[in-house]
Amino acid sequence: MIVHNFDPVLINFGFLSIRWYSLAYIFGILLGVYWGKYLIKKNFSDANLSEQNLDDYVVWAVLSIIVGGRLGYVFFYDFGFYSSNLAEIGKVWNGGMSFHGGLIGIVISSFLFSKKNKIAFWSLTDVLACLSPIGIFLGRISNFINGELVGKPTDVSWSFIFPKYDQIPRHPSQLYEALLEGLFLFFIMNFLVKKLSKKNGYLSIVFLMSYSSFRIIGEVFREPDQHLGYLYFGLSMGTVLSLLTISFGSFFIIFNTKNDFRKN
């Protein structure tokens, strides 16, 4: 059993504080762009997608993640509160972001960006699918440092007590998710990139379904949101949303497999 005593603030200048969570976003974007350019050069050279396109898309991505992630949290996780406190929606610094909301934001911004710049939508999202685990990994590590999204009570030897939450030993579920949704998913995506880079959309769907599967595993060890609890059949909101994305991915694969079969 270990007592969690990490400070979410790395440096405090008084008038300005640098938080681990902010650094996770910054380094996630920088490393993601670097890796994305490498992939474009090596595996997507015959697609109408350039390294400059990725540079230009960064601002779109940041805005779509923040806006989509925030609105996703508002609608999926705490609509009752925010519908009565509209001024709180913009206070992102108070916490409350949804991966699935950010995902919707990325899909919309990718579609609009690809139309504006006349590039292939699926080529862009396939590249994003291969680099996204970097940001997810850093984000989950930041969740751990912040002592948020804590795990369920346990007596395993590597359990943590999160004093800001309670005094009960709990699973470090943030680290489980960092390994599954971040590190492991990164290796899966970049192992498959050579095989699937010519099949538009398949890398995106593999990412979607793999992330969702790992998220469901993570939810087994993770405490549900206190104000929300469990929903239908004892499932958390994260599990419900992940099951929906798996269903969408399954439909995509079935639909495209049938079309490929008819073409042959």
The structural domains of the chain, with segments of one domain joined by +, span 2-263
Cα–Cα distance between 107 and 132 in angstroms, integer?
13
Longest dimension (CA), the chain: 66
Question: How far, in Å, are 16, 30, 91, 147, 231 from residue 10 at the CA level?
Answer: 11, 19, 21, 14, 36
Taking only the tens place, the pLDDT of each residue in 134-167 is: 999 999 999 999 999 999 999 999 999 999 999 9
pTM, 2 dp: 0.89
What letter would DSSP give residue 149? S
pLDDT of residue 207: 96
What is the token pair recorded at 136? Answer: 């997810």
List, for residues 81-92, the tens digit of each pLDDT value. Answer: 898 888 888 877
Query: What is the pLDDT of the chain when averaged over all its residues?
Result: 90
Closest by Cα among 1, 9, 8, 3 to 148 = 8
Confidence band, pLDDT 50/70/90 cuts, at residue 97: confident
CA 244 – CA 264 distance, rounded (Å): 31
Kind of pairing, strands 17-19 and 9-12? Answer: antiparallel
Band (pLDDT 50/70/90 cuts) for residue 213 is very high
On whether the CB atoms of residues 29 and 59 are closer than 8 A, the answer is: no
The more confidently predicted of residues 191 and 25 is 191
